Structure 1
């Protein structure tokens, strides 16, 4: 999705250089309602975020109820705020039906959903629903068919006759939001019964219809917010549940009825399971934290600080992108979203100092994606991993430090070598924020420091995140951008809007997780992985890399990791690979799918901002982020890289790995103390791979090759001297 935010880099005031970073991003299919309707939606957004923060900190709710309100409320807000089609903003586009004709076309679906909603409301008014003793077909005519039929009708209407007014609300989407509320109301009321009968022969048809409508709504909102990739993958998994008896080999299973499948998948084994547990707690909490940083303009300070520190160096804006985008990407949890926010500033400035458009976009994409592996937040990845594996959060964060540092050091080397190769300069100092001034505002890092300190002091993740959120508001009072009640409400509003994509994709990923659990295909896939690898861990890891990247293409990191971990991790662990190493390995490649051709969402977002070719940009971002494809194999062969070893071992592998990624960066960029020809690049590649191995002998070989290449590149010896030395 493209952003409406832009910047004229040449006219940016140096004191406000990064002001665009904290601007609210409006997607190309996002509505901006005005008047009473706009205020009502703002109030709903504030209520949605406040509900989560309140439940997490003050008044815990029963698990199913909380997660259903999380999903149902997110779906309702999503349909109100995001159109089924892109807005043309005054440009020629598809025609709209006349108002009266549109209402006539929409009316059957709206009336059907309204009937289902009134029936669901009746459960709460009368206290009677579809009990265990009810007939299997109870309320099918008065609730089930109207809900599913109306939902399908309205989705099709929203596709065929989308309303083109960004400032208004599409009535079809209003009733789709009502359908989402109806599904949540039905399942919340019947939760005590559904825990016993869902996924069994005891399930009622009304249960099935509510679940079908819920799945349809999740997939449609996921399409609107995250594109078709995840919808297609989820659709294939749903189809697999029914065609299993006709498939060969490990894909074969006995098949499931509509009732058993849909009632099973809308429980805590699927949609309400681990992915929604994470999105309803850790993800929405840290999205809200990011919103508080944005509202208090602390995020702007982070990027300005990076500009003051590195903006004047050669290729300065690219180095700023490495630091600033990495820091912001760690917090906001979406690679493509971070590219849009920080890239709108850094990409034009990179082009200004001489980077090609595709390189500028690629650097931003690589840096923003790297934010997902940067501790302590890791774009919520650390919390997801802790939830799935049961490994302590603190252990995960500590283990992530060296691999993340290697990745960002590698990207830094890439941009620095490119700057040397093409003779690029930094931005003039008079166009940059003054470092001395920003240094006096270093207290703005306090929210991050409080977050880290609270986590390592033993506070829960939720309590630590809440303290950091409060700290962001308090710290703002030391700046001109003080957060009063209006700013706090604004932060709660944009937090809801920022979280909707993750709510949808986590629910869609839950469908896939449910299918894997129901059919057992994950276990069979793990057995296949073991068979193909023939107990060779390296081969198994290679297959795991391919599967993680393929599953992650077109999917946000959260969903990509959750699905890949369900399918692949059990097999790797069964082969004897440590659980932390296995999950870190999968997580890294799920993250890097955002810059891996042919479907690289972060690179495509950068290409849209820079005006470059999307495919060329994705190839370039893959090259720049090359270290991320090597680092996982490094920490597999050298556990000390995950802080599992003595201090001597940890220092040894860290130093040699840094040297190794420098040599690999020289290979990719073709620059090693001067232009590097084919022979020199082969030498730097060999030296880099030798250093990455982690053994003392291979390190000696790598250093020796590098030393020879250094004296050759410095013209201390020539080809004839080298040839004579071989005699």
Structure 2
């Protein structure tokens, strides 16, 4: 027991050291999460109530795994029961307000909402067959229960996801009422309500539609897998690996943040969560190196958000995309490689240019993790490799593959604990004592992982249910066809106009919504627009996925950027603006593969074609990054040349040999000119001499983030 206590104390001390900012002030990561991530704004349980609640969470995770792997029950019954349990643990976990939480307290009105919501969904689950046979002839009691279920779920969504998605759902439900009342033959209000409730609550075209089905079938298991994987120590290994790869180079701390956030983010499934987790380590490191606070926060926010598009996991969205498009998961993961590479390359280039402009150095090599350490701990990635291999082989279903990988993560975690405890044992401690302590640690870690998995499932499941409502309203009213026709007519023969309109829709609808639910909404509302414009279906889904994700760093509701700003002690809006600049590739690359599907390996492509497109895209991104940074080769780039760099860079991203040649000539000529100016000693790139370098930081009002 002494060994376990010493281990916990050591971990706490390390966490405190990592969380200390360069100016000596500590970063309260938990407080940041509570403020900017609704999923972390939870009730406080202590003592016996905490044990009871944790037991309930663990039981829920085990139940989900068992039902997913073994149950052959009717889908409607399984999904309704799943949401009934979500309502119970959701209201136990999330309070109505952000502040004023009392320990071990849940108000009476939450108990009423919990019981009402649980009863509505459980009644449907228990009487599923009879209700489905009624069709549109459901009775008043069914209408009342359906309304209660939807309203209770909407309130839970407000608490754990946010208001923007509720506003969208409310507008669409109101439109569905209007459509029912105006398109029928003198339809009564009750008849309209009955039809809408029947469609949205009692069929698979609403709350229990495709999004919640995919959540129940796949996402739950992969969220639990991610929770286990995080507790094996793989995040620390990823940070160490990133340090070894890039820490030594100019401004290496920021490059470490890019690599580590990409690796950790693909597992976490939360832009804000990944920002706070890795940012509590990387942001102070970047500030200490010499990066300005808004830039340091922006690097972490942009990289953590990009983790959601990083294969093979992609925050579990890859599995959703495979289900929606109807292709194997492995194909989705492979197609995502090149766009993800371009995204992180764009951030990497911007970070390097900023480091050169400020004259920053790298981390001393003697302070970097050794190759011996990396080799000794490389076994930590085995569960991730196992998952990819199982899914790629096709020998097991995705659910079984996830379950086996969870078991693998448990084994690897146990081995990691055992080796660590053995190395840090007191002199004279026997192997039996170390093994016993390791078993205790493994048990507590398993409980913690199952509980964390259940907690993370709640917001995703609720948001997926809301996404089902959105899709159901659009289907019932035929609104999708109307929106498509409007945008197609507005775009005319100009595809770019339709792409811009769709991009704006994605950014607005994606504000404050978790990654997986975000994609569900985009796939239901925005992807059909692009397909109507003639875009390849796969390219359309990737396009809306990318722009839904970047909502986390795009003002005004840039939650990941605001969380990073809190850690960096920087202006929130300035951090969001810098993050948007750093993630410029996320705003450009989707247009590239929308007009040139070869980047997603679509069409008749060859290795040479793909390689050429990657090179031209990288050179184009370099040109745009230089234009945004304003410095190259120790010389400032004047405004006219910066505009030319943007034009040249974008030209190289437009399909066609002529545009590539023109863009390459422009970018190359300006780079050559800058090299000459730098050689002539036009002035070293120092922060104090960089005119306008702080424009994006100092001239932006310190606006409070929208909540």
* TM-score normalised by length of structure 2: 0.84
Distance 2:678 2:71 in 1: 74
173-182 or 617-626: which moved more?
Answer: 173-182
Distance 1:480 1:515 in 2: 50
2:168 is equivalent to residue 233 of structure 1:
yes
Distance 1:22 1:392 in 2: 38
* Cα distance, 1:440–1:24 mapped onto 2, change above 3 Å: farther
2:443 is equivalent to residue 507 of structure 1:
no
**Deviation of the 1:429 alpha carbon:** 4.5
Contact 2:232–2:380 at 8 Å: present in 1 too?
Answer: no
Distance 2:482 2:152 in 1: 30
**Deviation of the 1:210 alpha carbon:** 1.2
Distance 1:238 1:165 in 2: 35
Contact 1:76–1:176 at 8 Å: present in 2 too?
Answer: no
* Cα distance, 1:652–1:82 mapped onto 2, change above 3 Å: same
* SS of corresponding position for 2:610: helix
* Cα distance, 1:301–1:509 mapped onto 2, change above 3 Å: same
Distance 2:243 2:80 in 1: 43
Aligned with residue 217 of structure 1, among 152, 155, 161: 152
**Deviation of the 1:246 alpha carbon:** 8.5
Distance 1:28 1:59 in 2: 31
Contact 1:21–1:300 at 8 Å: present in 2 too?
Answer: no
504-513 or 432-441: which moved more?
Answer: 432-441
**Deviation of the 1:186 alpha carbon:** 0.8
Distance 1:39 1:438 in 2: 37
* Cα distance, 1:23–1:716 mapped onto 2, change above 3 Å: closer
Map 1:398-409; keep pairs closer than 5 Å: 398-409=334-345
Look up the match of 1:50: 62
Distance 1:238 1:10 in 2: 45
28-37 or 505-514: which moved more?
Answer: 28-37
2:94 is equivalent to residue 82 of structure 1:
yes
* SS of corresponding position for 1:555: coil
Look up the match of 1:565: 523
* Cα distance, 1:547–1:489 mapped onto 2, change above 3 Å: same
Map 1:454-603; keep pairs closer than 5 Å: 454-458=390-394, 459-480=396-417, 484-603=442-561
Map 1:553-702; keep pairs closer than 5 Å: 553-644=511-602, 645-674=605-634, 675-702=636-663
Structure 1: stretches of 5+ with no match in the other structure: 13-18, 89-163, 720-727
Distance 1:72 1:245 in 2: 29
* Cα distance, 1:653–1:230 mapped onto 2, change above 3 Å: same
Aligned with residue 347 of structure 1, among 258, 283, 290: 283
**Deviation of the 1:298 alpha carbon:** 2.0
**Deviation of the 1:513 alpha carbon:** 1.4
2:10 is equivalent to residue 73 of structure 1:
no
Look up the match of 1:706: 667
Look up the match of 1:104: none
Contact 1:7–1:20 at 8 Å: present in 2 too?
Answer: no
Look up the match of 1:150: none
* Cα distance, 1:411–1:24 mapped onto 2, change above 3 Å: closer
Distance 1:426 1:573 in 2: 47
1:633-673 deviation per Cα after TM superposition (whole angstroms, max 9, x unaligned): 11122221111311111111011111211111111111222
Distance 1:185 1:711 in 2: 70
Map 1:245-324; keep pairs closer than 5 Å: 257-266=192-201, 267-324=203-260
**Deviation of the 1:28 alpha carbon:** 5.9
Aligned with residue 383 of structure 2, among 422, 432, 447: 447
Distance 1:580 1:478 in 2: 41
* SS of corresponding position for 2:336: helix
Contact 2:208–2:468 at 8 Å: present in 1 too?
Answer: yes
1:335-384 deviation per Cα after TM superposition (whole angstroms, max 9, x unaligned): 12221222222222222222222212211111111111111111122111
Distance 2:558 2:318 in 1: 22
1:87-118 deviation per Cα after TM superposition (whole angstroms, max 9, x unaligned): 35xxxxxxxxxxxxxxxxxxxxxxxxxxxxxx
2:52 is equivalent to residue 33 of structure 1:
no
Distance 2:86 2:154 in 1: 13
Distance 1:579 1:165 in 2: 50
Contact 1:588–1:632 at 8 Å: present in 2 too?
Answer: yes
* SS of corresponding position for 2:676: coil
* SS of corresponding position for 2:526: helix
**Deviation of the 1:427 alpha carbon:** 3.6
Distance 1:302 1:591 in 2: 23
* Cα distance, 1:301–1:277 mapped onto 2, change above 3 Å: same
* Cα distance, 1:428–1:61 mapped onto 2, change above 3 Å: farther
* Cα distance, 1:231–1:516 mapped onto 2, change above 3 Å: same
Distance 1:702 1:299 in 2: 40
* SS of corresponding position for 1:693: coil
Structure 2: stretches of 5+ with no match in the other structure: 1-13, 22-26, 419-437, 681-707
Contact 2:246–2:252 at 8 Å: present in 1 too?
Answer: yes
Count residues with an aligned counterpart: 629
Contact 1:269–1:514 at 8 Å: present in 2 too?
Answer: yes
Distance 2:679 2:268 in 1: 51
